[in-house]
Structure 1
Amino acid sequence: MAANEADTLLHVLDDDLIDDEDRQQDIESTLGDRKSPGETFDTSQLQAPNANDFSNARLIEELEGRRMRPTGFRDQDIIALQKVLDAEFEQEKEHLIRQHNEKKEQAMKEAGLQRRRAQLEKQLTEEKQEVAQNKIVAGWLSLVKQDETPLTARIEVNSISARALAKAMWTNTSLTSLDLARNNLDDFAGAYIAKLLKRNTALVKLELDSNNLGCRACNAFGEALLSNNTLQHLGLESNPLTNEGEKPAGFRYMVQALSKNAALTSLNLWRCGLGTPAGHDLAAGIQANRTITFLELGNNSLALSDLRQIGARVKDNRCHYDALQQQAMAKQREQDRILQEEKKAQDLLRKERELHDWLEAQRLLRAEERRAEEEERFRRHVWQFVS
Structure 2
Amino acid sequence: MLIDKAVCSRKTQLMTSCGVPTLSFLEESKEHFKDLPNHDHRDFKSGCGQRVVAAVRDFEMQQWEREIKEEKSEILSNKPLCRWFAAANEQPPEQEPPGFFQTCSHRNIRSLGRFLWSNTSLSTLDLSNIGLEDLEGVFLARALKNNGTLLRLNLSMNKLGPMLCSEMGPALSCNTALQVMNIDSNPLSRGEEDGNNGIKALAEGLADNTTLRELSLRNCNINAEGGRYLSMADTRLVSIEIENNHFCLEDVSLLRERLESNLKKEESYKLAEEAKRGVVLTRDAFKAELEMKKVEQTREFLEHEKRQREIGRSLKIKEEAEAKEKAMKEKEIQRRAQVLEEERLAAKTKKKGKAKGKKK
- Structures share fold, TM-score greater than 0.5: yes
Structure 1: gaps spanning 5 or more residues: 31-97, 100-104
Distance 2:259 2:172 in 1: 18
Secondary structure in 1 matching 2:226: helix
CA distance in 1, matches of 2:305, 2:293: 18
Taking structure 2 as the reference length, what is the TM-score of the superposition? Answer: 0.71
- The letter of the residue matching 1:156 is F
Return closer, same or farther for 1:258/1:133 CA change in 2, 3 Å cut-off: same
Partner of 1:371: 316
2:254 counterpart (309, 315, 323): 309
Distance 1:7 1:247, change over 3 A: farther
CA contact (8 A) 2:183 2:218 kept: yes
Q: Secondary structure at the match of 1:258?
A: helix
Tell me the distance in 2 between the aligned counterparts of 1:121 and 1:6: 11
Q: Which amino acid aligns with 2:74?
A: E
Shift of 1:386: 4.1
Contact 1:265–1:294 (Cα < 8 Å) also in 2: yes
Deviation at 1:122, TM superposition (A): 6.1
Amino acid across the alignment from 1:222: G
Q: Which has the larger radius of gyration?
A: 2
Residues 300-352 of structure 1 deviation map (CA, whole Å, 9 limit, x = unaligned): 24222211111111111111122222222221111111111111111111111
Q: Taking every aligned residue pair, what percent have the same amino acid on both sides? A: 24
- Give matches, 1:265-284, under 5 Å: 265-284=213-232
Moved more, 126-135 or 158-167: 126-135
2:181 match: secondary structure: strand
Distance 1:215 1:126, change over 3 A: farther
Q: State yes or no: 1:224 paired with 2:171.
A: yes
The reply on whether 1:255 has 2:196 as its aligned counterpart is: no
Q: Distance in 2 between matches of 1:108 and 1:281?
A: 46
CA contact (8 A) 1:6 1:117 kept: no
Aligned: 1:128 with 2:128: no
Give yes or no for contact 2:87–2:98 (8 Å, CA) kept in 1.
no
Question: How many pairs does the alignment contain?
Answer: 303
> In structure 1, how many angstroms separate the alpha carbons of the residues matched to 2:205 and 2:264?
22
The match for 1:212 is 159
Q: Is the 8 A contact 2:215 2:239 kept in 1?
A: yes
TM-score when normalising by structure 1: 0.66
State the match for 2:27 in structure 1: 14
Deviations 1:149-208 (A, max 9, x none): 421424414243221021122222232333323322222211100001122233233222
Quote the residue 2:348 is aligned against.
none
Q: 1:136 to 1:220 in 2, by over 3 A?
A: same
| Structure 2 equivalent of residue 193 of structure 1 | 140
Q: Per the alignment, do residues 191 and 296 of structure 1 end up closer, same or farther by CA in structure 2, a change over 3 Å counting?
A: same
Partner AA of 2:221 in structure 1: G
Residues 231-278 of structure 1 show CA distances to partners (whole Å, capped at 9, x for unaligned) of 222221222222365752322221122222223222121222323332
* Residues 156 and 185, structure 2, Cα contact 8 Å, conserved in 1: yes
* Counterparts in 2 of 1:113 and 1:221: CA distance versus 1, 3 Å: farther
User: Which amino acid is 1:353 matched to?
Assistant: T
Q: 1:245·1:278 contact (CA, 8 Å) conserved in 2? A: no
Classify the secondary structure of the residue corresponding to 2:208: coil
Superposition RMSD in Å: 3.9
Letter in 2 for 1:382: A
Distance in 2 (alpha carbons) for counterparts of 1:16 and 1:215: 22
Higher mean displacement: 162-171 or 296-305: 296-305
Please give the alpha-carbon distance, in whole angstroms, between the structure 2 residues aligned to 1:261 and 1:5: 31
- Contact 2:165–2:198 (CA under 8 A) maintained in structure 1: yes
- Are the equivalent residues in 1 in contact too, given 2:151–2:178 (CA < 8 A)? yes
Deviations 1:32-65 (A, max 9, x none): xxxxxxxxxxxxxxxxxxxxxxxxxxxxxxxxxx
Q: 1:184–1:125: structure 2 CA closer, same or farther, 3 Å change rule?
A: farther
SS in 2 for 1:181: coil
Further displaced range: 229-238 or 114-123:
114-123
